[in-house]
Amino acid sequence: MTVFISKVTFEHHRDALGIGEPQPRISWRFGGNVVDWEQSAYDLEIRRGALTTYHFLSNGSLLVPWPESPLASRESAEVRVRAHGQPGQASTPWSAWTTVEAGLLDEESWSGAVPIAGSWKIEHGKPKRPVYFRKSFDLDASPRTARLYITALGLYEAHINRQRVGDHVLAPSLQSYHHRHADNTFDVSGLLRHGRNVIQVLVVEGWYSGRLFSFDPSVTRNHWGDNIGLLSLLHVTLADGSVFRIPTDSSWTATTGPLIDSQIYDGEVYDSRLEFPLTESANDDNKWDAVVELPRIKGVLMSPDAPPVRRIEERKPVRIWTSPKGKLLADFGQNLAGWVRIKASGQPGDKVTISHAEVIEDGEIAILSLRSAKARDTFILNGQENQVFESRFTYHGFRYIQIDGWPEKDPFNDTSATAFVVHSDLEQTGWFHCSNPLLNQFHSNVRWSMKGNFVSIPTDCP
């Protein structure tokens, strides 16, 4: 019978890339089938170029202090742990090596990156059209490592060379942006190549400057700002050791595109007839508009201290039917927070609208509880076969959807739509099951309520 160290973490982060603490505290968990084993001391080995070993007489395994000098911005270290039992008890084997890497720990580390926005006029009292930002650049050699540090005045989604960066959604998270502004770190080493590269980022108003905190759309916009902007730094170390940086500045370009409208409460409008290809041609840069540089971000830039929001689960319709008023409805069998992906084939200009609701009333979806929130996503087809549409910067609380405008030539069935359950990627640490079905259902309701109300911060309703 043995005991071993099953997991090492830093500041409770499952992924310690881009951590915001220069002296991250270390924790570890034990595995094995020994019931009376107790730690009396532990060893730490840390590799930062040289290997250093530390020994501590302590039974602590939760957030123990970092024993070395602080990490610098972008510096990484490898750590492993060994624990010793009481007299007569065996020590654990060394844990696997775990890497921690600091993000950008101060403003100077952003290497001159400034927030940028489209150069066109914005009507500040109305919804702001999403902005596509673009930067093309050449690398003289293959990249050895590359990190993208990124945040937005709004919500963002980034692509490099047509490939999506990371799997976060609704990023950066909702926060008091005038006090703190989270930035994310991504390892993009595998997305870059020798020669021409293109980074493209879509930014929408999100919580930052969209409608928030009230259902009166006339008074609740621009809570933290009145523009849509992007701040990022691409830091590349080439194979020969040289460093290449791409900060957001006036050399970037911007345009509008197929995502016409995106709002947290009201949903999205996407017109696929306006799609444009992502190419590496320098001519494409000339077709886009100039950007303007914005003042520095007001809040302190820092790494997130909570897990990112992700697509966690998928659900298919369990029932599809026509309502008494002739509306096409679908039931996903569970009240959830998230959005729907559809696959449709139709004529150019066909408009498919998805309305969301939590309950059925008199045979129709009940939307009275939504008040002024539309909770509606609209997708306009371009005539291609099997087009796939998915909302990305809004989310809804729903079990049922109403589908309007579905193309007649493409009958709606259980493969036409998928619901994504979206929430902060929290680790489940406990389970419950008993012989009483009512208690089991109560526990299930609690878990689903938590899923629907942990979208970057705790909320009272999705």
124 pLDDT exceeds 70? Answer: yes
Tokens of 147: 């990190």
pLDDT score of 17 more than 80: yes
State the distance between the two ends of the chain, measured CA to CA, in whole angstroms.
47
* Same domain, residue pair 208 and 261: yes
What is the band of 1 on the pLDDT scale with cuts at 50, 70, 90?
Answer: low
Measure the CA–CA gap between 261 and 7, rounded to whole angstroms.
43
Are residues 273 and 388 both part of a single domain? no
Q: Is the pLDDT of residue 453 over 80?
A: yes
Q: Which residue among 258, 280, 302 closes a domain?
A: 302
* Listed range (10-24, 173-187, 282-296, 338-352) with the worst mean pLDDT: 282-296
pLDDT at position 370 is 78
- Shared domain for 437 and 323, answered yes or no, is yes
DSSP class of residue 445 equals H
Distance CA 12, CA 307 (A): 10
CATH at residue 269 = 2.60.120.260
Together in a domain, 356 and 293: no
Q: Which long-range contacts (CB under 8 A, 24 or more apart) does 279-288 make?
A: 279/198, 280/136, 280/161, 280/196, 280/197, 280/198, 282/136, 284/134, 284/136, 285/134, 285/136, 285/253, 287/255, 288/132, 288/134, 288/253, 288/254, 288/255
Q: What are phi and psi of 460, to 5 degrees?
A: -100, -15
Are residue 281 and residue 324 in the same domain, yes or no?
no
Q: Are residues 7 and 83 in the same domain?
A: yes
Q: 341 pLDDT exceeds 70?
A: yes
DSSP code, position 171? B
- Please report the pLDDT score of residue 281 as a whole number: 59
Same domain, yes or no: 118 and 257: yes
Examine the pLDDT at 264 and tell me if it is beyond 80.
yes
Q: What is the pLDDT of residue 218?
A: 59
Q: What is the pLDDT of residues 22-44, one digit of tens each?
A: 999 999 999 998 889 999 999 99
How would DSSP label each residue in 385-420? TTEEEE--S--EEEEEEEEES--TTS---TTSEEEE
Query: Do 71 and 116 fall within a single domain?
Result: no
Mean pLDDT of 60-89: 97
**Percent helix, strand and coil across the chain, each rounded to 5?**
10, 45, 45
**Domain range for 76:** 3-102
Structure tokens given for 441: 């259902």
**Rg of the chain taking only CA atoms, in angstroms:** 25
Q: Are both 120 and 83 inside the same structural domain? A: no
The maximal CA–CA distance of the chain, rounded, in angstroms, is: 77
Indicate the residue among 102, 137, 162 that finishes a domain: 102
Q: Which residues touch 331 (CB under 8 Å, ≥6 apart)?
A: 317, 318, 319, 320, 399, 400
CATH number of the domain within which 94 lies: 2.60.40.10
Mean pLDDT check: name the lowest of 61-65, 180-184, 217-221, 375-379.
217-221
User: Could you give the CA distance from residue 132 to residue 157 in angstroms, rounded to a whole number?
Assistant: 10
Arithmetic mean of pLDDT, 273-287:
75
- Taking all residues of the chain, what is their mean pLDDT, rounded to a whole number? 94
- How many structural domains does the chain have? 3
Give yes or no for a cis peptide into 172 (omega within 30° of 0). yes
| pLDDT value of position 138 | 95
